Structure 1
């Protein structure tokens, strides 16, 4: 069962990723679009054509009418910036909308990966807060959101971010063994950052039994998987370069032999043995964010440690890949 509670999602509407919130009243003026999904398609078409000015009104209309794809696209756009000015407050709001509307989605649902992404993003915002907005840092609450995204939805980024909290003792009691467990789950999904951090720990024996060949192999994979990840590629390259410069020929050869056995995403099928004393997460009053949301924020109950969901499921939604507009 999910930790967070939300209104039940009608199965027929959920199949087309459209959820119209209760209480939306009609007006005398005709709607600007045939439907919310039509607005989403128009918005994505304009965005793919390099016209964000035309895309935003359509995407905002679709997002306001509960289209998950539009909410997620806008959240990502505002979180990253570039095509639109970076705006973490707006990104937070769209991620919050997803968490509010889809919190009851089972971990086996085709849209679970996107809900997990939303909870992960919210957790990351709560770690540091949002500058210039009434969202103050709350690392304890952040850890709970990341734990939910990582354990229930199997989100690799959440598993990685939670591991970092355990490494530094931010919002949780510092525990390098628990951190290594979460890093292992994310590394199995080919998360470059998790592979690199875990590789460093194994190389040096920091909180785990020293296994230099395995550590170097993970750093090799991390360098390979970082690709165009601007947030990770520089420090991963640096860590790899420092480590391989220290490795002898036999260790390098052993690491190269191990790489094929470590590559390829594998779902985690067993729960990780994690102490639950740090899992109690307090609720954050909705009044803390008056300018971001008027709704009650999702509340955390006791955190049940469940096996992370298998990743890489087909999206579906009853729409074609082109309709989804690159949501993957």
Structure 2
């Protein structure tokens, strides 16, 4: 498998022995009767059934159906259960179990078609693993490991073209986490993500362009990207507003006017992200 070739094997995921999905979650096949889901349902049918139940607010049924599909190796079901564990959404919050579910996805589906239906689940699982390796999980065997974190992001960024992975990889290169600091590589990956409309990447790229780090200094273009990112960000991203305000205070009046006009033009053409 590609993940084993590129990242050095299953042991990379750091679990020692990965728990099988059936060991992580209670077996629920007995509950899949005529009132819920046919016992002969395919993994895809079970996933769709569970996801619809989730959207309708019936998270108990959702967990049952998703677990059924996950035990049969459905990447989307494994991913969704991982998200539910990570967020404490319909299941007790448990980052270790979330980590295990994302590891199941990454190990079994790393070679999936990057343009296929499962790609978004698999790439996001790699991103989630990258974040867990970056920060660690308190009171667990999952310790901060910048090298593995960078590898997770690099795989999702390159093979799946995931913009969140590209942003996180750019930040690790920029900050020198998991290896030497490399602003040029940070610019490269930030550009790829920014071109896909990733807000954080637009802010990082704008900052590097304004400061001339890893790229020739272009204060107008940098302030434009920072302004676009500020206007597209939400309250959870105060660092974006801080960087935009700092650049704005240092720019000349001409640079400000030009950058703001370019930002307005970009926003009029592309709009803000969907809520």
**TM-score, normalisation: structure 1:** 0.65
Residue number in structure 1 paired with 2:151? 144
Structure 1 pair 90/254, CA: closer, same or farther in 2 (3 Å)? Answer: same
Deviations 1:271-291 (A, max 9, x none): xxxxxxxxxxxxxxxxxxxxx
Distance in 2, Cα, partners of 1:70 & 1:151: 24
Distance in 2, Cα, partners of 1:110 & 1:209: 39
Deviation at 1:82, TM superposition (A): 4.8
1:42–1:55 contact (8 Å) kept in structure 2: yes
Size of the aligned set, in residue pairs, is 241
Distance in 2, Cα, partners of 1:175 & 1:210: 16
Deviation at 1:258, TM superposition (A): 3.1
Distance in 1, Cα, partners of 2:170 & 2:57: 37
Distance in 2, Cα, partners of 1:51 & 1:169: 44
Residue number in structure 1 paired with 2:137? 130
Distance in 2, Cα, partners of 1:217 & 1:85: 43
Deviations 1:252-308 (A, max 9, x none): 23213433469759xxxxxxxxxxxxxxxxxxxxxxxxxxxxxxxxxxxxxxxxxxx
Deviation at 1:67, TM superposition (A): 2.3
Distance in 2, Cα, partners of 1:31 & 1:77: 20
Match status 1:212 vs 2:225: no
List runs of 5+ in structure 2 lacking aligned partners. Answer: 6-20, 22-28
1:2–1:152 contact (8 Å) kept in structure 2: no
Larger RCO (CA within 8 A; separation ≥ 6): 1
Structure 1 pair 85/216, CA: closer, same or farther in 2 (3 Å)? Answer: farther
Deviation at 1:149, TM superposition (A): 0.8
Instruction: Spell out the pairing of 1:112-191 with structure 2 (5 A cutoff).
Output: 112-191=119-198
Residue number in structure 1 paired with 2:206? 199
2:3–2:107 contact (8 Å) kept in structure 1: no
Which one has the bigger helix percentage? 2
Residue number in structure 1 paired with 2:18? none
Deviation at 1:4, TM superposition (A): 4.1
Residue number in structure 1 paired with 2:247? 243
Distance in 1, Cα, partners of 2:117 & 2:156: 15
Distance in 1, Cα, partners of 2:98 & 2:259: 41
Over aligned residues, Cα RMSD in angstroms? Answer: 2.9
Q: 1:255 aligns with which of 250, 253, 259?
A: 259
Structure 1 segments, 4+ long, off by >6 Å, are: none
Distance in 2, Cα, partners of 1:31 & 1:37: 18
Structure 1 pair 257/4, CA: closer, same or farther in 2 (3 Å)? Answer: farther
Deviates more, 1:33-42 or 1:192-201: 33-42
Residue number in structure 1 paired with 2:58? 51
Instruction: Spell out the pairing of 1:1-328 with structure 2 (5 A cutoff).
Output: 2-4=2-4, 32=32, 33-34=37-38, 35=41, 36-227=43-234, 231-232=236-237, 234-259=238-263, 260=265
**TM-score, normalisation: structure 2:** 0.76
